[in-house]
Amino acid sequence: MRSVVIIPARYKSSRFPGKPLVKLLGKSMIIWVAELSAIAVGRDNVYVATDDERIAKIVTKAGFNIVMTSNECLTGTDRVAEAASKIKSDIYVNVQGDEPTINPKDISNIIKAKKLHFDEVINGYCAISKHKEACDINIPKVIFTEDKRMVYMSREAIPGSKDGEKSSINYYKQVCIYAFTLDELNDYVGYGHKSALERLEDIEILRFLEWGKKIRMVKTEPGSLAIDTPGDVAKVEKRLKDLHYV
């Protein structure tokens, strides 16, 4: 079975325009993500999906595959779906382009889980170490059943506690690695619009819940950092210096 990584990347961002090209230790963020993905699936199986020629130029120069997409994609998953229609594969892994410290082993484990649960969407998660992160609206929190089926994902601190003892709650955050089949991606796009919960929370995976699609959560290594705003650059650069797999 062939597995490919597709990294959605758009230049326009309300909080951080040009984010994929921000330099981290002298290298564009999108290239960090592509190189780490290549460790998991091989360089030939890594694609960057974008609608911007500036991103395409940098990615092509670094020797990675580019798939040009429209500028009307509702979400990164919609962009991945458009790119996937041009790539023949069995499994399509969406790796977000703003997580440059992602562990390649986590990508491999997501693929393994997809092979075992081929009729389910796969998504990563890890524990949140600090309570203040559970209250950070930039971090989607996830709750799931004992057998790791996703129940819900929110920017609010979930789950709650009747007695108010929040310090004893185990919180988990989404890690933005997803695995799909082409049919699942086509169904996602075919929904035709952002679902009500997806739009409210601004969490794209919630669209799958609207028609009862099973989503399985897979534990990943803790410590992956995303860049949401320019203020995140310094801490991510510090983490990159300590990575043993780059």
Identify the CATH number of the domain in which residue 146 sits.
3.90.550.10
* Cβ 216 vs Cβ 179: under 8 Å: no
CA distance 97 to 31: 9
The token pair at 109 is 């484990």
pLDDT digit of tens for each residue in the chain (246 aa)? Answer: 999 999 999 987 766 778 999 999 999 999 999 999 999 999 999 999 999 999 999 999 999 999 999 988 999 999 999 999 999 999 999 999 988 999 999 999 999 999 999 999 999 999 997 777 899 998 999 999 999 999 999 999 999 888 776 667 899 999 999 999 999 999 999 999 999 999 999 999 999 999 999 999 999 998 778 887 888 899 899 989 888 776
Tell me whether residue 28 is exposed, middle or buried, using C-beta atoms within 10 angstroms of its C-beta: 0 to 12, 13 to 18, 19 or more.
buried
pLDDT at 149: 98
pLDDT at 170: 92
Query: What's CA 23's distance to the chain center, in Å?
Result: 20
pLDDT at 200: 97
pLDDT at 246: 63
Domain extent, residue 171, equals: 3-242
Q: Find the distance separating the first CA and the last CA of the chain, reported in whole Å.
A: 26
- Tally of domains within the chain: 1
CA distance 190 to 179: 18
CA distance 104 to 198: 28
Q: How far is CA 114 from CA 17, 139, 224, 233, in A?
A: 33, 24, 21, 32
Longest C-alpha distance within the chain, in Å? 56
Task: Show the CA angle centred on residue 121, arms to residues 15 and 198, nearest 5°.
Answer: 40
Task: Show the CA angle centred on residue 65, arms to residues 38 and 185, nearest 5°.
Answer: 85
The token pair at 182 is 């082409």
pLDDT at 42: 98
Q: pLDDT for 23-69, tens place per residue?
A: 999 999 999 999 999 999 999 999 999 999 999 999 999 999 999 99
pLDDT at 47: 98
Residue with tokens 């959560």: 217
Tally of helices (H runs) and strands (E runs) in the chain: 9, 11
